[in-house]
């Protein structure tokens, strides 16, 4: 039991502890002070490591690990993004599809493939994929329509016409562990694989706290009125650039008023059912893999710690 | 004292409770299901309330409150954004500068002016200002350079050329209460008013947790190594669209290694000094106003609750 803070009120409740998830490891020293120093980066490039991407997706080797190679054979420094320092060594993300030779195939289901990588590789792939996605979606200036150029070693886009600068976008999303009397509410969207259920989630809107966003999403999607909302932990989800903020709240009742524009179904799962979901032998439902924070949230509830 | 979670480790510490801040109030039911229903919105417009903006800034009346008027005299519905429902009444943000007559003057220092508004007015002004800023920065499509159009009652921009859609951007920022042995670290940037100090802060990067971002920023800006990082609360700061996430962490020592590219100075303030800062009679330093979460964080530490 623990005292925790929610808005003005201090409530007593069981504390849920999330296991570490994919993309939570910091794989590298981001060394952001070097991003604006082309001379230092060129020197790092000489002896650096390149992580290979094709059309913005990381390439994997035969063992299913990230394809890494010395920067010396990776083409021009100008086409690389600086990911950071591994000790004294520079690590770069390099787009290979525009180069000679066969760049190999990037995995089609990036989420699954990256989720299966070792933690550090997955996190590096995530940073790179987020940067490539950023450049792809900001080729032109939102203010004047001019062509933007890559700046700051891949961490900024600049507009030479009007001077506008833009940085990689990180979209905060609340993902909800909605509890009532030892059960949680899980929903499913129409396009998901049969039986798949997960935590309700939605984007945080402008001028909104994450606690308010959690209450709003629970109400919008399932008509659930939440109280005692607290933050549990987070996971970056770089497809393309979400920041998943795990929130816990208590529903006032088990009544569900389904918003069919967002969800196909939503129902309550007891703690025992959640144990079966986590172990993968629930008779009719399944949850996302361990690499997703939804899995980790459901597992924490199932464990009850 | 309380058990709190940070990564894998469970630490015992004093719990800091933040007072409510500006922009934390949800001023309105955002009613997002209505955004895609032009007929319903037109009906709401007939009897609605318009909040007046000029060049994206809220206009104030003689009492310093938001300028509100019946939608009937506010021009065309097409130029309005739907903010939500106040009971059964629709509330809209309307840009007045393109209309006949004198729209009045918007406050130059929007942050100060909005901070002085009643909570609900400030929050409404924040939502509107964030939306106007979004439209201003996304006039053209980042993917193809085509002109975008307003969609979803102001909550989306669509590109008729390539079909790209974009939503208002919310940029998560960590703001840090860095504690060591009953003192906290405050810094100042070169452009600030004389004596002004505040909490260190920085943008969350792609593929990064908020806890990792807090550790990175403390290290980058002041060479401070943090442990036991926890989330305290948040405040939207819609100028133009930040989400300030208040984080608390313990520094390993009082050594400060200043990054002069980011900060002009940083030093430790004892709890007693923080009390003087909050009360506004510190002999040499001052902190941001009550409307900023930095003030609320420093006040929580000064109180020591």
Q: Which two tokens stand for residue B176?
A: 């840090």
pLDDT given at position B69: 87
Element housing A112 (H / E): helix A110-116
Q: Once rounded to an integer, what is the mean pLDDT over residues A4-18? A: 49
Burial of A50 (0-12, 13-18, 19+ CB in 10 A): buried
The distance of A31 to chain B (nearest Cα, Å) reads: 8
Q: Which of A4, A169, A206 sits opposite B236 (nearest CB)?
A: A206
Phi-psi region of B73 (alpha: psi -120 to 50; beta: other; left: phi over 0): alpha
Q: Which residue, A252, A218, A205, A225, is CA-closest to B84?
A: A205
Nearest CA in chain A to B159: A142
Residue B99, number of CB atoms within 10 A of its CB: 16
Which residues of chain A lie closer than 8 angstroms to B7, CB-CB? 20
Q: Return the structure tokens found at A168.
A: 């990689």
Which residues of chain A does B134 touch, with a Cβ-Cβ cutoff of 8 Å?
Answer: 206
ipTM surpasses 0.85: yes
Residue of B nearest to A241 (CA): B206
**Which member of A130, A142, A216 has the closest CB to residue B139?**
A142
Contact B145 A145 (CB under 8 A): yes
Q: Is the peptide bond before B136 cis (omega within 30 degrees of 0)?
A: no
Strand boundaries in chain B, DSSP class E: 2-6, 9-13, 49-54, 57-58, 68-70, 80-86, 89-95, 149-151, 156-158, 165-166, 171-179, 183-188, 200-203, 226-237, 242-251, 265-270
Q: Do B140 and A137 touch (CB under 8 A)?
A: no
Residues B95, B81: Cα–Cα separation, whole Å? 9
Banded pLDDT at A7 (limits 50, 70, 90): very low
Q: Provide, as residue numbers in chain B, all residues whose Cβ is less than 8 Å from the Cβ of A30.
A: 205, 216
Q: How far is CA B21 from the centre of its chain?
A: 10
Sign of CA dihedral A276, A279, A281, A286: positive
Kindly determine whether residue B140 and residue A140, on different chains, have CB atoms separated by under 8 Å.
yes
Place of tokens 């062509």: A147
From the list A15, A143, A203, the residue facing B137 with the nearest CB is A143
The percent of residues above 90 in pLDDT, for chain A, comes to 67
Q: In the 8-state DSSP scheme, what is residue B29?
A: B
- Cβ contact, residue pair A261, B33, below 8 Å: yes
pLDDT reported for residue B19? 83
Closest by alpha carbon to B204, among A105, A303, A23?
Answer: A23
Residue B97 is predicted with a pLDDT of 75
Q: What is the 3-state secondary structure (H, E, C) of B163-217?
A: CCEECCCCEEEEEEEEECCCEEEEEECCCCCCCECECEEEECCCCCCHHHHHHHH
**Token pair of A167, please?**
């940085």
Helix/strand/coil percentages in chain A, nearest 5: 25, 30, 40
* A-B C-beta contacts closer than 8 Å: 172
Q: Looking at chain B, which residue has its C-alpha nearest residue A125?
A: B207
- Higher pLDDT, residue A140 or B17: A140
pLDDT tier, A5 (very low <50, low <70, confident <90, very high otherwise): very low
Q: What are the backbone angles phi and psi of residue B191, rounded to the nearest 5°?
A: -80, -5
Q: Which residues of B touch A238 (CB under 8 A)?
A: 206-207
Question: Which of A7, A145, A172 is facing B140, going by the closest CB pair?
Answer: A145
Strand, coil or helix: B134:
helix
Distance between CA atoms of A281 and B131, rounded to whole angstroms? 46
CB B224 within 8 A of CB B215: no
Start-to-end CA distance of chain A, whole Å, equals 10
Length of chain B as a residue count: 305
Across-strand partners of B94? B52, B80
Q: CA–CA separation, A124 vs A128, rounded Å?
A: 6
Of the candidates B8, B134, B145, which has its C-beta nearest A140's C-beta?
A: B145
Is A236 within 8 Å of B136 when comparing Cβ atoms? no
Distances in whole angstroms, Cα of residue A136 to Cα of each of A50, A167, A231, B130: 20, 13, 32, 24
pTM recorded for the entire structure: 0.92
Instruction: Provide mean pLDDT across the span A261-272.
Output: 96
Strand locations in chain A, DSSP E?
2-6, 9-13, 49-54, 57-58, 68-70, 80-86, 89-95, 149-151, 156-158, 165-166, 171-179, 183-188, 200-203, 226-237, 242-251, 265-270
Residue closest to B45 by CA, chosen among B94, B96, B95? B94
> Residue A299 burial by CB count (10 A; 0-12/13-18/19+): exposed, middle or buried?
buried
Q: Do B234 and A140 lie within an 8 Å CB cutoff?
A: no
| Residue of B20, B139, B206 with shortest CB distance to A241 | B206
Q: Determine the residue of chain B that is closest to A16 in CA distance.
A: B5
From first to last of the 305 residues of chain B, give the pLDDT tens digit: 333 433 333 334 456 788 887 777 788 899 999 999 999 999 999 999 999 988 888 888 888 888 888 887 776 666 789 999 999 999 999 988 766 555 566 776 777 777 778 888 888 998 999 999 999 999 999 999 999 999 999 999 999 999 999 999 999 999 999 999 999 999 999 999 999 999 999 999 999 999 999 999 999 999 999 999 999 999 999 888 999 999 999 999 999 999 999 999 999 999 999 999 999 999 999 999 988 999 999 999 999 86
Counting Cβ atoms within 10 Å, is residue B279 exposed (0-12), middle (13-18) or buried (19+)? exposed
Q: How far apart are the first and last CA of chain B?
A: 10
Contact A220 B32 (CB under 8 A): yes
Test A206 with B168 for CB contact under 8 angstroms. Answer: yes
Contacts of A139 in chain B (CB under 8 A): 142-145
Whether A142 sits inside 8 A of B140 (CB atoms) is: yes
Find the closest chain B residue to A231 by CA distance: B231
- CB within 8 Å: A207 and B143: no
Q: What is the per-residue pLDDT for A104?
A: 62
Closest CB to A30: pick one of B134, B138, B205. Answer: B205
Mean pLDDT of A84-113: 78
d(CA A167, CA A150): 10
Interface contact A171-B168, CB threshold 8 A: no
Q: Which of B26, B138, B170 comes nearest A171 by C-beta?
A: B170
CB contact under 8 A, A206 and B20: no
CB atoms within 10 A of CB B19: 15
Q: Which residues of A touch B225 (CB under 8 A)?
A: none
CB contact under 8 A, B261 and A130: no
Provide mean pLDDT across the span A295-305: 92
Ramachandran category for residue A191: left, alpha or beta (phi over 0 → left; psi -120 to 50 → alpha): alpha
Nearest CA-CA distance, residue A284 and chain B, Å: 31
Residue A23, pLDDT > 70, answer yes
Contact across the interface for A33 and B259, Cβ inside 8 Å: yes
């Amino acid at each position: 039991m623990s005292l925790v803070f929610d808005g003005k009120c201090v409530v007593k409740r069981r504390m849920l502890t999330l296991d570490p998830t994919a993309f939570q490891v910091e794989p590298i020293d981001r060394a952001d002070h070097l991003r604006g120093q082309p001379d230092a980066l060129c020197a790092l490039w000489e002896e650096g490591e390149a992580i290979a991407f094709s059309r913005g997706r990381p390439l994997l080797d035969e063992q299913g690990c990230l394809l890494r190679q010395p920067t010396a054979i990776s083409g021009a420094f100008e086409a690389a993004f600086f990911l950071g320092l591994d000790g004294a060594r520079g690590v770069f993300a390099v787009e290979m599809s525009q180069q000679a030779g066969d760049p190999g195939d990037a995995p089609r289901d990036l989420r699954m493939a990256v989720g299966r990588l070792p933690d550090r590789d997955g996190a590096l792939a995530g940073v790179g994929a987020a940067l490539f996605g950023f450049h792809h979606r900001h080729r032109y200036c939102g203010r004047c329509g001019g062509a933007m150029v890559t700046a700051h070693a891949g961490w900024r886009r600049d507009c030479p016409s009007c001077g506008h600068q833009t940085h990689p976008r990180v979209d905060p999303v609340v993902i909800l562990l909605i509890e009532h009397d030892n059960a949680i509410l899980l929903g499913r969207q129409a396009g998901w694989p049969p039986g798949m259920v997960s935590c309700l989630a939605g984007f945080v809107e402008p001028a909104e706290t994450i606690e308010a966003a959690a209450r709003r999403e629970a109400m919008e999607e399932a008509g659930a009125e939440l109280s005692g909302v607290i933050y549990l932990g987070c996971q970056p989800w770089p497809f393309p650039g979400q920041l998943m903020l795990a929130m816990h709240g208590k529903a006032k009742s088990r009544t569900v008023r389904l918003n069919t524009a967002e969800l196909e179904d939503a129902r309550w799962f007891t703690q025992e059912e959640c144990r079966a979901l986590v172990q993968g032998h629930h008779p009719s439902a399944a949850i996302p893999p361990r690499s997703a924070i939804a899995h980790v949230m459901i597992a924490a509830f199932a464990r009850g710690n």
